[in-house]
Amino acid sequence: MLEDLTGRIGPRLSGSPGAAKAVVWVEKEMRRHGFANVKLVPCMVPHWVRGDVENGQIATTKQPLSLCALGGSVATPKGGLTAGVIEVRSLEEATKLGEKAKGKIIFYNRPFDPSLPNTFGAYGGANDQRVRGASVAAAVGAVGVLVRSMTLAEDDEPHTGAMRYQEKVKQIPAAALGIKSANKLSSALRINPNLKVSFTLSCKTLPDALSASVIGEIVGYERPGEVIVMGGHLDSWDLGRGAHDDGAGVTQSLEALRLIKKLNLRPKRTIRVVAFMNEENGGRGAAAYAERVRKSSEIPYAAMESDSGGFMPRGFGVTEAKYEAVKGWEEKLRVFGIERFSKGGGGADIAPLGPLGATLFGLQPENQRYFDYHHSRNDTIDKVNPRELEFGAMAMAMLAWLISEEGL
């Protein structure tokens, strides 16, 4: 399934032809596996396109910079943007520049903290630069931003990802720099603080487009109104093929329910797969799904998300209040590689179900390599090991089964 999704369909950014094909593809897969009540849950999604032109260089020395537009960015002027550069390590530092930032490109270069063993912690500690950096810089008069890619990989692939403009602040172009390019620019600035960088982006935002998340299920025989969700997101960034992020999570969810079906197991509670649309740059699919649940009479009993890559599963995060209730299941999950439950779980797509009462779970795979590929051209299927991917699907199937049969 993952070969099909990443190979035949490829990148699936919200609003793109790839995303539309992926919706049709999931619906077909669900029917092929014999899932019940297969449906689309429509939502309007942002429609941002990268455009054809994307390049940059240190203008003074003509050294090329490897970069890509951040998702949601506006374009540069047609012939590109050329300006002096100020390197900072934080949003606060950018704000403190005040007048000095006027007419400049702000270069956010705070790296992932390499001392954190969990790379998601390092990501969380750096990505404010990518998400909010442009508006913070624009507020003090900057004309563009460059952001060190959100990765620990020692290559020069730029990693895109969502950025957001603050209302009433001038929208300035924002691009991610590959790590080698970020290091190159940083050393060049130490030698010549007056150097200039030029870069060109031709991205733009089109009107919102109609899209959908896709759902399918096995109806519970004893408590059909209590629903356990397994899900991942169907959309992906446009540079790679969305293999780890998050073709893995979607296909693991499909596979987990397929396994239960194939084994002719009838769950007490309803087990449903949701392929969420638009996690990457809007969360509109998650919002529309939660709204549909809220208006229905069903009980969102539990939800589990796989959106941390298709690597060997190691644990599940779980809503803190239910930690003691599920801890005893660790032994049963060990054969699938699960070592432990940890407190605090979920993911962006199932988060809105928490306030509606669902216990949230997040699959936690090995995380050392994830950010090497995440949101870059390198997120392709050759980076996914089928055996490890399948262990994740099995762990999800087992956990869904335990929730259904034993309750929380």
96-111 CB burial, b ≥16 within 10 A, e <16:
ebeeebeebbbbbbbb
Stretch that binds Zn ion, among 99-107, 130-138, 299-307, 358-366 (CB under 5 A): 299-307
What is d(CA 157, CA 162) in angstroms, rounded to the nearest whole number?
Answer: 17
User: Closer CB to Zn ion, residue 200 or residue 281?
Assistant: 281
**Cis link prior to 246 (omega < 30° from 0)?**
yes
Assess 245 for contact with Zn ion (CB under 5 A). Answer: yes
Binding marks (x or -) toward Zn ion, 205..244, rule CB under 5 A?
A: ----------------------------------------
Stretch that binds Zn ion, among 28-36, 301-309, 312-320, 395-403 (CB under 5 A): 301-309
Is position 388 annotated as part of the catalytic site?
no
Q: Smallest gap, in angstroms, from Cβ of residue 279 to Zn ion?
A: 6
Q: Smallest gap, in angstroms, from Cβ of residue 294 to Zn ion?
A: 24
Q: Count residues contacting Zn ion (CB under 5 A)?
A: 3
Longest alpha-carbon distance in the chain? 72
CA atoms within 13 A on the CB side of 225: 5
What is d(CA 408, CA 400) in angstroms, rounded to the nearest whole number?
Answer: 11
Q: Answer whether 336's CB lies under 8 Å from 315's CB.
A: no
Q: Smallest gap, in angstroms, from Cβ of residue 276 to Zn ion?
A: 10
Q: Smallest gap, in angstroms, from Cβ of residue 374 to Zn ion?
A: 8
Assess 307 for contact with Zn ion (CB under 5 A). Answer: yes
Q: Which helix (H) or strand (E) holds 314?
A: strand 313-318
User: Closer CB to Zn ion, residue 178 or residue 362?
Assistant: 362
Stretch that binds Zn ion, among 106-114, 303-311, 327-335, 351-359 (CB under 5 A): 303-311
Q: Smallest gap, in angstroms, from Cβ of residue 373 to Zn ion?
A: 11
The residue among 260, 392, 233, 231 whose CA lies nearest residue 316 is 392
Report 320-379 residues binding Zn ion (CB under 5 A): none
User: Closer CB to Zn ion, residue 217 or residue 235?
Assistant: 235
User: Closer CB to Zn ion, residue 27 or residue 246?
Assistant: 246
H-type alpha helices, 149-245 = 179-191
Q: Which class for 208: exposed (0-12), middle (13-18), buried (19 or more C-beta within 10 A)?
A: middle
Residues 6 or more apart in contact with residue 105 via CB below 8 angstroms: 81, 83, 84, 85, 86, 142, 143, 144, 145, 146, 197, 199
Among the listed residues 29, 87, 157, 279, the single catalytic one is 279
Assess 246 for contact with Zn ion (CB under 5 A). Answer: yes
Q: Smallest gap, in angstroms, from Cβ of residue 336 to Zn ion?
A: 22
Residues 6 or more apart in contact with residue 3 via CB below 8 angstroms: 381
Binding residues for Zn ion (CB under 5 A): 245-246, 307
Active site (catalytic) residues: 279
